[in-house]
Structures are given as C-alpha cells and as structure tokens.
Chain A
C-alpha cells in the first residue's frame, strides 16, 4: 500500500478542462456444470482442490477438450451484445508465470475472438441512452485462487507465503472488451456503473452466469484516461483492477479522473500501469507497470482445434435469446401504464419481476404496484432485508386483494395479515379465519354496536339529526372498539342513517 496521499482535482473542475475516455474489460464466469476444458465440476464454495482433474493441474500429457455448452453460452453473450460471431476461431496460450495457473499459461483467445464488433445501449438513471461499442468478447478460463498468508495486512505485500486452491482454475470465462468510450463527460462514473450493471443484467437474463459480483461471477477492470478538452488524441490510460461492485466501479472512475487531472495539471505524465482499487479508502494505488508484463508471447494452442460456427447453429442459438432487458422494460411500462417516475422507482427498487408475476397471477397493475412499492417495501426496509428475501409471493398479494375487494377485510387489516404471512402463519385466508380478523359487516352485530354507541352519545345523535353528517365520525370510535376494529366504516354510516331515517 502506498503511504502517500494522491493529489486530487475536484471532479467538476477536472472535467471543465479535460475529456475522459473510458474502456472496460468485464469478465463473466459462466455457470456451466463443468469447466472450460475439463469435466471437473464448476462450483463455488466447495472444499479446496476437490474440483480438480489432471487437466486443471496442467499435468504433463493431458489433453483439454472444449465444453460445448460454454461455447454456446459465449455465442449467446455475443449475440445479446449485438456482435458478429466468428465463422472460425481458435484458442491461444497466454504465457505468464504465477502460481494461480499451474500450466504457466492461460488458455484464451487472441487474434480471433468468438464475438466482435457489437454494441450495448446503456440506460442512464434519467432514461438517457448511451451506446457503448463492444470491441470483442472472447472465451478463456479462470485462474486458481491464492490466499496470502502471514504479514500484517493480509495483502500480498508482507505475506510470508501463499496457499493455492485450483477449484476455480479452468472455470469458463467470457471477457467482454469495449472500444474506447468518449463523450461521457461528467457522466463518466455514472455510465461506468450503468454499463457494468447492464452487462450483468444481460448475462443473468440469458441464464449463462449466476452474475453475482460479490462472488466474482462478474468482474470489472476499468480503464480511464483524460485528454485536454476538445483534443482528439487519447491520453495515457490506467487500468484499475479489483473493482467488484457497481458502486466501486462508479467510485473508481470518479477517483481516477480526479487523480489524472492532478497529475496532468502539475505537468507530469500519467504512468501506464495497473491500479488497485481499495474499497476502504475509496482510492487506487499503483500496481505494476503494464508494458513489460504485457509480453505474454501468445501462440495458437496446439492441443485445441479451431471452432467453426455454421449459420444454422448461430440461428438456433439466436432463437434461444430471451427478450432483452431494456426492451422488456419498455414493453412492461407501456402495458402497465405507469408514469415515468413510478416505473423508474419500480426498476430501482428491483421489483420488476415481482410485479410482473403478481399481475400475471391476476392483480391489476395498480394493485401490484401499491403492495410491492408500499407495504412490502416498508416491511423490507424495517427488517433491513431485500424485498425478495421477505418471501412474499404474488399469490399472497392476489389473495389479500380479493379479500379486500370482497369486503372481508379492510386495508388496515390486510396490512396486518401480510405481516402474519411473512411470519409464516399461513395464507391470508387461513390467517383471517384463525385470528378472526374478518370485517364485521353483518347487520345484526353492527346494528347492536351502533345502537349502543348512539345510546351513549345522545348529543351526537342530535347533531346528526340536525344535519351535521360529519358527526357520524364520533360514533365510529365506539363502534370500532366494540367490533375490535373490524367494522366496515361505510356500512356503519349507512346503518346510522337508516336508524335515524335520514
């Protein structure tokens, strides 16, 4: 860790004078059953070195064989990113010496990626669309996991030794590389976050990755450079690694812009290097210079033959593509008739799937939104949980709503019933029966309660007789008390008027 503090220039000030250029490399771990080149299980969280075959250890004489499903998932990603799919492509060895790969090379693609020349339309928070051009998406394999032991900080600096688990070694990866992104200006950090979120959403929607950033299923390296405003020649870039949450991507780009501006303002040059992101200090520190280590001496992998894609194969895969998330949102917004802000709030709350399922189960769009954005969101917030983690099903909402519409319970009781459902007491109807929560609207019981209330408050009755209808409200308290809050207020009003002949 560096022990100096980088000079920074205020973000807005920096962008008054410089234009940022961004570039992203996003690694997506595929969720195939087996690894890229071996039939070892591709699983997260298993005991160390249990998902390992001789191929994953790079033992002499082994022969890797490509996972067909991994190739198909890669093509699906390419198609979803509007890429061209290579008619013919192959694998290459990327040579480097580090214990995370026992082979001393990573099997990757070099000159001929399986997908290239695509784009992704990224929606910013206010709805503006920013098109990001995709350079390529290529297949490769993940490396083993090193844990640095000893030393004071738990980081590699000062570590005494490292322990290696090769379970992750050979897990299929697709690396998605953008072309340089210009023109984002002050929205660069926001765009960075939105881009990675969009890629994550796409691979999740395709079902080809678990897409959990906290597990490293989606990992981002963010390239940033600045050039004087109006210039066309890009500045020297840095590549910030280890930015593994959406918030971190946004903060890392923000930080690097401020740091680059300070370096350039001082007349110094940006060093082309990797930077390490530190979530705790929200800053980057210098990694290694990029130039020398870039000497990977790629050459074609002799153990793997080329992959040829036919038109039929690609079209069969294209037929499997689900509706793109952005198009789906557009369609749902129109179908549901929500206002712009209402819909954006729903998207930001992450309950699009829940509302869609609730409507499919029979609720109206308005009712579905009322529950998911109202009481359920409130309960989730109170419990400090994700809305999905509360376990409320669409069927519950539909049932609650039909109980309300059937005048069996009122809104207030329904909210209580929901809490009992979340507590695991059963379905709404069961709870209403078990706890005797049904609204009292049988006229005998209500009539008696109204009689009692009127007898106790003769002055109120006089006022009502004199035409002050709002005085009926004063009778409501005792009636509700007598019926334990379960009286139908509308019906009480009617009964009072009937009894007084009004």
Chain B
C-alpha cells in the first residue's frame, strides 16, 4: 500500500507553487513513496512512549543578549534579488497569499 498518492504530490506541488508535468508527477510519486516508506521503518522500532526527537544533542536555552549587531548593506541585501526597485525586492503579484 502506497504512502504517497499521485494526488498528494499534486497537492504538495500546488502548495509549493511548483508546476509539474504529468511525467514528473508520476516519477515523483514513486520516489517520494520510497522515501516515506524508508522513514516509516523508524516507526517500527520506536514505540509510542518515545517522544519524537528533533535535536540529537540535549541542548537547551541557547539564547543571545538583545544587542544590535552588523546588518548587510543594501547592495549585499539585493545581490541575489532577481529584480529590485527602490531598494526593495520586486516580485510578481501573487493573489492567493495571506
């Protein structure tokens, strides 16, 4: 039984604003299913009383003092911007956002 259906991939592609062809969807469905299947084997060894781990090292409270540091120059900020205008990033108008 597949963990990832083709519909799941269509849905994820939509959420991520990625356009995918039918062939790509088919390929990705198989690949993602294999990955999720591999990861699912972890659940077989981890019992329900083991809390999920997001950090392998037991560190807590890595905090910094509220002191202002160095910021980037405008040129540095916009270095990777595909387009800019008036020192701001220029992006296509997107309708379905917040």
Binding site for B on A (CB under 8 A): 32-34, 38-41, 47-54, 57, 59, 65-71, 88, 90, 95-100, 146-151, 156-157, 159-166, 241, 288, 293, 295, 297, 299-302, 304-308
Segment among B24-32, B39-47, B62-70 that sits at the interface with chain A: B62-70
With contacts A164-B89, A300-B52 known, is A70 near B71, CB below 8 A? no
For B17, the closest partner residue in chain A by CB is: A97
Write out, one digit per residue, whether chain B residues 1-37 have a CB within 8 A of any chain A CB (1) or not (0): 0000000000100011100000000000000000000
Please determine whether A53 and B72 come into contact, CB atoms closer than 8 angstroms.
yes
Please determine whether B96 and A288 come into contact, CB atoms closer than 8 angstroms.
yes
With contacts A50-B74, A97-B16 known, is A68 near B65, CB below 8 A? yes
User: A160 to nearest B CB, angstroms?
Assistant: 6
Contacts of A51 in B (CB 8 A): 71
For A33, the closest partner residue in chain B by CB is: B66
For B53, the closest partner residue in chain A by CB is: A300
Distance A148 CA – B67 CA, assembled complex (angstroms): 33
12 additional A-B pairs beyond A41-B71, A97-B15, A100-B98, beta carbons within 8 Å, are A39-B70, A49-B78, A49-B87, A71-B63, A90-B54, A95-B15, A98-B94, A99-B89, A151-B93, A160-B93, A304-B62, A305-B60
For A43, the closest partner residue in chain B by CB is: B68
For A95, the closest partner residue in chain B by CB is: B15
Please determine whether B91 and A164 come into contact, CB atoms closer than 8 angstroms.
yes
Please determine whether B95 and A156 come into contact, CB atoms closer than 8 angstroms.
yes
Distance A274 CA – B65 CA, assembled complex (angstroms): 38
User: B65 to nearest A CB, angstroms?
Assistant: 6
> By DSSP majority rule, is chain A's interface helix, strand, loop, or mixed?
loop
User: B85 to nearest A CB, angstroms?
Assistant: 6
Please determine whether B89 and A40 come into contact, CB atoms closer than 8 angstroms.
no
For B78, the closest partner residue in chain A by CB is: A49
13 sampled A-B residue pairs with Cβ under 8 A: A40-B69, A49-B87, A51-B71, A65-B63, A66-B64, A88-B60, A97-B17, A160-B93, A161-B92, A162-B90, A162-B94, A164-B89, A305-B55
User: B35 to nearest A CB, angstroms?
Assistant: 15
Please determine whether B69 and A306 come into contact, CB atoms closer than 8 angstroms.
no
Distance A166 CA – B74 CA, assembled complex (angstroms): 11
In the complex, which of the residues B63, B72, B78, B93 contacts A148, with contact meaning CB atoms closer than 8 Å?
B93
Contacts of B92 in A (CB 8 A): 161-162
B86 close to chain A: CB less than 8 A = yes
Contacts of A295 in B (CB 8 A): 11, 15
Distance A67 CA – B71 CA, assembled complex (angstroms): 16
Distance A460 CA – B91 CA, assembled complex (angstroms): 88
Please determine whether B60 and A306 come into contact, CB atoms closer than 8 angstroms.
yes
Contacts of B74 in A (CB 8 A): 49-50
Q: How many A-B residue pairs have CB under 8 A?
A: 140
Contacts of B96 in A (CB 8 A): 288, 293
Distance A146 CA – B92 CA, assembled complex (angstroms): 11
User: B81 to nearest A CB, angstroms?
Assistant: 9
For A63, the closest partner residue in chain B by CB is: B62
Please determine whether A307 and B78 come into contact, CB atoms closer than 8 angstroms.
no
For B97, the closest partner residue in chain A by CB is: A98
Distance A32 CA – B97 CA, assembled complex (angstroms): 28
Contacts of B72 in A (CB 8 A): 52-54, 57
With contacts A48-B88, A156-B95 known, is A68 near B68, CB below 8 A? no
Contacts of A70 in B (CB 8 A): 66
User: A158 to nearest B CB, angstroms?
Assistant: 8
Please determine whether B87 and A300 come into contact, CB atoms closer than 8 angstroms.
no
In the complex, which of the residues B54, B68, B87, B98 contacts A34, with contact meaning CB atoms closer than 8 Å?
B68
Contacts of B48 in A (CB 8 A): none
Please determine whether B91 and A57 come into contact, CB atoms closer than 8 angstroms.
no
The 9 closest A-B pairs by CB, nearest first: A39-B69, A300-B54, A69-B66, A68-B63, A163-B88, A98-B97, A164-B89, A159-B93, A99-B91
Distance A306 CA – B63 CA, assembled complex (angstroms): 10
For A73, the closest partner residue in chain B by CB is: B66
B59 close to chain A: CB less than 8 A = yes
Contacts of A52 in B (CB 8 A): 71-72, 77
Please determine whether B91 and A67 come into contact, CB atoms closer than 8 angstroms.
no
Contacts of B62 in A (CB 8 A): 65-66, 304-305
Please determine whether B59 and A305 come into contact, CB atoms closer than 8 angstroms.
yes
Distance A67 CA – B63 CA, assembled complex (angstroms): 6
Please determine whether A48 and B60 come into contact, CB atoms closer than 8 angstroms.
no
Contacts of A306 in B (CB 8 A): 55, 60-61
Contacts of B61 in A (CB 8 A): 305-308
User: B38 to nearest A CB, angstroms?
Assistant: 17
Please determine whether A67 and B78 come into contact, CB atoms closer than 8 angstroms.
no
Please determine whether A307 and B91 come into contact, CB atoms closer than 8 angstroms.
no
Contacts of B54 in A (CB 8 A): 90, 299-302
Please determine whether B68 and A39 come into contact, CB atoms closer than 8 angstroms.
yes
Contacts of B16 in A (CB 8 A): 97
Contacts of B64 in A (CB 8 A): 39, 65-68
